[in-house]
Structure 1
Amino acid sequence: MHLADAKSLLQNKYSTKKDLCNLLKSIGDFYFLEKTLLKCHLSKIMGEKRLKMSDVSRDTGINPGTIRRIFNETATRVELNVVETLCEYLEVEVGELYELQSKKSEVNPEE
């Protein structure tokens, strides 16, 4: 891929994920992307217990936005007292709520 093609792809907001992955592969070192090390199972646990985010927030006093970010795995940091409160409320151990995962994963243009 030529530099002009790469610039065009990056500037085109309608580029497909496959095109962008191919661009990353052609660059070289970006074939592997960093991913989060912690996988949160809050959504799974809440589903098993048939709980809604509003229930958890109301019953624990944790801000609804915090619950939403943890649930959607978009939280960049979580206070330990929040983790402790969630574990006590859900009756789970920290290791059941959070799981340590692989650091790197391969970019898959088919996803």
Structure 2
Amino acid sequence: MIRCHLARLMGERKMRISDVMRETGLSRTTVTLLYKETALKVDLEALDKLCELFNCPLSDLLEQVSN
């Protein structure tokens, strides 16, 4: 299973979904699905924009964990 740490990264920086939308240009739906960890697929460009925003490697945003 893949875990998304967007909520944690946003919390550490006191950001809201609207802040992430404004800074990255991503849709509310995309950000919300990642925030709630309900996304079934993600565009690579979206991941790239989030990594740039949070100045982090992909491994800080996504993590593979065993069930």
Q: TM-score, normalised by structure 1?
A: 0.59
**Who wins on radius of gyration, i.e. which is larger?**
1
SS of residue matched to 1:78:
coil
Counterpart pick for 1:61 among 25, 33, 45: 25
SS of residue matched to 1:47:
helix
Distance 2:64 2:39 in 1: 15
Runs of 4+ in 1 over 3 A off after TM superposition: none
Counterpart position of 2:12: 48
What count of residue pairs does the alignment treat as equivalent? 67
Percent of aligned positions with the same letter in both sequences?
Answer: 36
Cα offset, 1:49, TM superposition:
0.6
Distance 1:66 1:97 in 2: 14
Unmatched tracts of structure 1, length 5 or more: 1-36, 105-111
Distance 1:44 1:86 in 2: 13
